[in-house]
Amino acid sequence: MIETIKKHADVLEDVPLNKYNTYHIGGITKYLVSPLSINDLVEVIKILDENKVPYFILGNGSNVVLSSKKFEGAIIRLNNIAGIAIHPELSRAYAEAGAMFPKLVMESIEKGLTGLEFAGGIPGTIGGSIYSNAGAYNACIMDYVESVTVLNKETYEIEELEHEDITYSYRNTMFKEEKKYIVLSAKFYLKPGEKANSLAILEDRKRRRLESQPLEYPSAGSVFRNPDGDFAGRIIEECNLKGTSIGGAEVSEKHANFIINKDNATSDDVYELINLVHDTVLEKTTVDLKIEQEFIGWD
């Protein structure tokens, strides 16, 4: 099976996953597979399905908590499927799933388009960002998506879904809920803008992130979704949870909605601390914080 897959992808075996997620945690995957193109991805999925091998699509690993258990299947990365095309005359941009979101932001700004500045600090891929409707500063990626090209995992057909065909909400989409599709690429509708203005916005928000977020430590960004009309960080801080730690994982002293890998944290450290924060907040305030990050490989 693997020799056949190697015709369509770069393949590594028994790979530690700590280098492939922003917490720098996780176990080993039996196969790490990087398809060479969209058509090769389709073939890889078919082969895995035919051989009943489980698989998971991993973007930049910036919104996941990976288990320390060995994954007896294939982790698929789309780093070879990462094209970007900017069309300033149409106020449009195109990006494949493996492209990094900040790279799309910068390339669109360089071509005089505005709209995506909110995402300059989001360390995710386009596919992962669409999957979870990533956002910041009261904006989200789905605000600017014109259409999404997907692989239907049931039929192996490539389909293009228009914006109105896609169900989404705050930090959530049908792609995350239903698991029927793999995001392959997207088209974005932007607006003409001034490069200098866009760069000034990016610089201001970079300064704000450095001041308010623990960027010096590995983390996966905001752990919990903000409740309507409130902020998860404020509620967690009110419960005196800043600085709480389990093993090498800690609730950041700088921003309470960040859990950081402060000192060689394990997957279990992070997992248990997230649940401790959730349960403590629920007990003290009755607020049931929704976990934004996705647990992968946990029972």
Q: What is the pLDDT along the chain (299 residues), one digit of tens a residue?
A: 999 999 999 999 999 999 999 999 999 999 999 999 999 999 999 999 999 999 999 999 999 999 999 999 999 999 999 999 999 999 999 999 999 999 999 999 999 999 999 999 999 999 999 999 999 888 999 999 999 999 999 999 999 999 999 999 999 999 999 899 999 999 999 999 999 999 999 999 999 999 999 999 999 999 999 999 999 999 999 999 999 999 999 999 999 999 999 999 999 999 999 999 999 999 999 999 999 999 998 87
Q: What angle do CA 278, 232, 270 make, to 5 degrees?
A: 45
What string of H, E and C letters represents the secondary structure of 65-99? Answer: EECCCCEEEEEEECCCCCCEEEEHHHCEEEEECCC
147 is catalytic: no
CATH code: domain 214-296 is 3.90.78.10
What is the predicted pLDDT for the residue at 298? Answer: 80
Q: Where are the domains of the chain?
A: 2-77, 84-196, 214-296
What are the distances in angstroms from CA 92 to CA 118, 132, 144?
A: 17, 22, 10
> Rounded to the nearest 5°, which phi and psi values hold at 134?
-60, 150
pTM for the whole structure: 0.93
292 is catalytic: yes
3.30.43.10, 2.60.260.20, 3.40.50.2300, 3.40.190.10: CATH of 2-77 = 3.30.43.10
From 108, 129, 171, 267, active-site residue = 171
Q: Which residues pair with 100 in a beta bridge?
A: 125
Asked if 2-77 and 214-296 have one fold, the answer is no
CATH topology of domain 84-196: 3.30.465
Neighbour tally for 295: CB within 10 Å: 16
From 43, 96, 250, 292, active-site residue = 292
234 is catalytic: no
Report the alpha-carbon distance of residue 201 to residue 32 in Å, rounded. Answer: 37
Q: Cβ(86)–Cβ(113) under 8 Å? A: yes
Q: What is the tens place of the pLDDT at every residue in 144-196?
A: 999 999 999 999 999 999 999 999 999 999 999 989 999 999 999 999 999 99
Q: Cβ(222)–Cβ(189) under 8 Å? A: no
> Rounded to the nearest 5°, which phi and psi values hold at 76?
-105, 125
From 34, 185, 198, 222, active-site residue = 222
What is the predicted pLDDT for the residue at 127? Answer: 97
Report the alpha-carbon distance of residue 258 to residue 252 in Å, rounded. Answer: 6
